[in-house]
Amino acid sequence: MILITGHVILTPEHRERMIALGAEHSARSRGEAGCLAHNCHVDVEQPDRLVFVEEWADMAAVRAHFAVPASGAFVAEMRALSPQPPVMRIFSGDDVTARVMG
């Protein structure tokens, strides 16, 4: 499984637009092959931060997602609206829930 976390800083004048963009991007991404989960959340401790959490079946699905023109357009618009570049981290791992929880 591939886990992607990321965030972007919201600005007061673009806040609603950026949240709408994030929600649209997550909804669209959930329809892509290999997407197990894709959600965006407003950080309750830092309300000017929009956080993304994604789960993908494998790197092939992630690469295909990054190649979707709408994904590139989303990143470009977020970059233009935010005072800081978006942050993204990509992890590879196994779901160990059953082993930990018994």
Nearest to 87 by CA among 13, 15, 4, 11: 4
Per-residue pLDDT of the chain (102 residues; tens, 9 = 90+): 999 999 999 999 999 999 999 999 999 999 999 999 999 999 999 999 999 999 999 999 999 999 999 999 999 999 999 999 999 999 999 989 899 987
- Residue 8: CB atoms within 10 Å: 25
- What single DSSP character describes residue 58? -
Nearest Cα to Cα of residue 77 among 12, 18, 34 = 18
Please give the Cα distance from 58 to 90 (Å, whole number).
11
